[in-house]
Chain A
Amino acid sequence: MKGIYIVGGYPHIDKFGECFKSVVKCGYDFIEVGIPFNDPVADGPVIASAINETIENGISVHDIIESLIEFRDVPIKKYIMTYSNIVYSYGIEKFSENLKSVIDGIIIADLPNRMRKLFYNEGFKIPIVPFATLETREKDIEIIMNSDSDFIYFVGIRGTTGAKADFTSAELIEKIKLLRKRTDKKIIIGFGVKTADDVKEAMDIGDGFVVGTEAVRRQKDIDEFESYIESLLEKISS
């Protein structure tokens, strides 16, 4: 599963739409659309400043949701990536009603696995993708398996988006082995994938990857964006 993260509505709705289509055209399996929140604690400087610029440009959460609804029938798996407050304050049930037939799942950066039930109890019906991290313990795996999502989001670094992962580190490989032993859900490597070589390594140890920071860095220039996301796939056979 090959995926690209882009910031929704960045820098404007139409530019974002071009990038969205480009991800589909280049043969990716899924797209993650970030809905901006102006306290992005999981994001490094590149994505954080794209988020802030989008908000300053007056792009609202509603605008992004509307454009996602417009793309409903585009043939690619769609995920939203955002922060708890966006879903909570929009209205947990309302968010779910408006988007459950539009997206395949949601990644909420500040909603750890054990807090998902709070959203489900309030009527949230979209699969919330569970996280595995370098800190994941045996006892955390139960709650990861116990999920309606089709994949696990593996955070391969200690840090924010934009930092570099070390795919050869023993601890990372051990963690993935541990997950493999306990679940047959797909393991998608998020955070720290930047180059065609990273992509190859991520595909070797996991079932997929998502590239964020380096894609967002190019989101303002569609040509640069497209040649970059194309180049990422050079070293793997699709």
Chain B
Amino acid sequence: MRPHNGFYGPFGGQFVAETLIPALDELEESFNSVRKKKKFIGEMKRYLHDFAGRPTPVYFAKNISEKYGINIYLKREDLLHTGAHKINNAIGQAILTKYMGKKRIIAETGAGQHGVAVATAAAMFGFDCTIYMGSIDAERQMPNVKKMKLLGTEVKLVDTGLKTLKDAVSAALKDWVFNVAHTHYLIGSAVGPHPFPEIVAYFQSVIGRESREYFESLGFLPDFVIACVGGGSNAIGMFHDFITSDVKLIGVEAGGTSLNPGENSATLAVGKKGIFQGTLSYLLQNENFQMEDVHSISAGLDYPGVGPQHAYLRDRGRAEYVHVFDNRALHAFKELTGLEGIIPALESSHALAFVIDNRDRFKGKNVLICLSGRGDKDFGIIEKVNLEDI
């Protein structure tokens, strides 16, 4: 799926300050030139393999499959270095930054997984690095804040707005306008102005490609491919190589505590079209055209927008988007931990929850779920809820 003039159907575009346009052009030109170069691809593959630990396995989760009568396969992005799919994009864009000759990297982070991945890549490639993080997110994902600092990154806490992911993106965009000449904004999801959604999808598409190779070696494709959707990077990476197949694609958003305004981040379920942080897509806004408050138990899904590719796949009817409430995500978290000995990220738990909560629909089917990250970062949140009651 390639954009046309920066748009996927009606979605996408470049809605940013004029000052950033030359930087976006430079990024697009560099990306289009390196993506075909053997040297770049070789370097990327080597770091993904030797440093990040690719390829990741697809695991047939026997116990949970048996319990629910569904064949559940997990794509184990949680096994990657730094614990989530975010490292795929961080390494790819860091190498791209090197090719562009820039010396400083900035990024936003919600759950801290992208922040840690970028801080890690920055340490390894020798970039100066600043990460913006909402102060509420920093509090609920404290282990990741400590990791970023250990890695030599400056963590700037953002105290404006809701003090979560949206505000971290705004702060990073402002930094970029100030420092655009020598700084690359290493955005963490398939959001923002063109060419970011395309670049992030490109670097994450390795998830779906490896998965497809695995199933092809078994001689069949899964019936369903399912991933959680925050901004949409693990989902678009997972979907990418299945879009032209007839595998059913399902993205799972965070239903939070309810679908009432301010209590979820289910952008495709209850959002309207609008323009936000660089892109035309669906977003959560109120009747006064202001961004709505958002909530999710998982910091990585807590975003009022969604990447333009997902808006497009949804409106074309190619993918289905659903939502899962906080307590059901916690239930799935508990199930996977207890049955399979795998502690999933709360983000990824949403994808699993949709499957086990709709077991009739998936009965006997082969379902591939993206286990986008591991859950140790979530202990602060888990400690506050009583898992016994879930």
Interface of A toward B, CB cutoff 8 Å: 36-39, 41-42, 48, 52, 55, 60-61, 83-86, 88-90, 109-115, 118, 131-137, 140, 155, 158-160, 163
**Closest CB in chain A relative to B186 CB, distance in Å:** 18
What residue in chain B is nearest A108 (Cβ atoms)?
B15
Segment at the interface with A among B49-57, B199-207, B286-294: B286-294
Residue numbers in B under 8 Å from A163 (CB-CB): 178
Q: Given the interface contacts A60-B288, A158-B180, A159-B178, does A41 sit within 8 Å of B277 by beta carbon?
A: yes
Contact present for B274 and A110 (CB under 8 Å): no
The digit string for B273-306, where 1 denotes a CB below 8 A from any CB of A, is 1111110100101001111000000000000000
In the assembled complex, 14 residue pairs joining A and B whose CB atoms fall closer than 8 Å, in A order, are A38-B161, A85-B275, A86-B289, A88-B274, A89-B273, A89-B285, A112-B14, A112-B17, A114-B14, A131-B17, A135-B18, A135-B21, A137-B22, A158-B178
Contact present for B274 and A135 (CB under 8 Å): no
- Knowing that A109-B17, A111-B15, A113-B21 touch, tell me 14 more A-B residue pairs with CB under 8 angstroms: A38-B290, A41-B173, A41-B277, A61-B289, A83-B275, A85-B276, A88-B275, A89-B272, A89-B285, A89-B289, A112-B15, A136-B22, A137-B22, A158-B181
Give A110 to B166 CA distance when docked, in angstroms. Answer: 16
Residue numbers in A under 8 Å from B161 (CB-CB): 38-39, 52
Q: Tell whether B177 is near chain A: CB-to-CB under 8 Å.
A: yes
Interface of B toward A, CB cutoff 8 Å: 13-23, 160-161, 166, 170, 173-174, 177-181, 272-278, 280, 283, 285, 288-291
Give A91 to B16 CA distance when docked, in angstroms. Answer: 20
What residue in chain A is nearest B174 (Cβ atoms)?
A160
Residue numbers in A under 8 Å from B13 (CB-CB): 115, 118
Contact present for A140 and B174 (CB under 8 Å): no
Contact present for B21 and A39 (CB under 8 Å): no
A52, A89, A111, A158: residue with the most chain B Cβ atoms closer than 10 Å: A89
Contact present for A134 and B15 (CB under 8 Å): no
Residue numbers in B under 8 Å from A52 (CB-CB): 161
Contact present for B170 and A112 (CB under 8 Å): no
Contact present for B170 and A41 (CB under 8 Å): yes
Contact present for A39 and B170 (CB under 8 Å): yes
Contact present for B19 and A155 (CB under 8 Å): yes
Contact present for B17 and A61 (CB under 8 Å): no
Residue numbers in B under 8 Å from A118 (CB-CB): 13
Contact present for B289 and A90 (CB under 8 Å): yes
Could you say which of A61, A114, A137, A159 contacts B177, with CB atoms under 8 Å apart?
Answer: A159
Give A115 to B360 CA distance when docked, in angstroms. Answer: 47
What residue in chain A is nearest B7 (Cβ atoms)?
A118
Residue numbers in A under 8 Å from B273 (CB-CB): 88-89
Could you say which of B14, B22, B166, B174 contacts A135, with CB atoms under 8 Å apart?
Answer: B22
Contact present for A134 and B17 (CB under 8 Å): no
Give A90 to B287 CA distance when docked, in angstroms. Answer: 9
What residue in chain A is nearest B171 (Cβ atoms)?
A41
**Closest CB in chain A relative to B102 CB, distance in Å:** 15
Residue numbers in B under 8 Å from A115 (CB-CB): 13-15
Give A188 to B22 CA distance when docked, in angstroms. Answer: 21
Residue numbers in B under 8 Å from A137 (CB-CB): 22
Could you say which of B14, B19, B160, B290 contacts A133, with CB atoms under 8 Å apart?
Answer: B19
Contact present for A110 and B17 (CB under 8 Å): yes
What residue in chain A is nearest B160 (Cβ atoms)?
A48
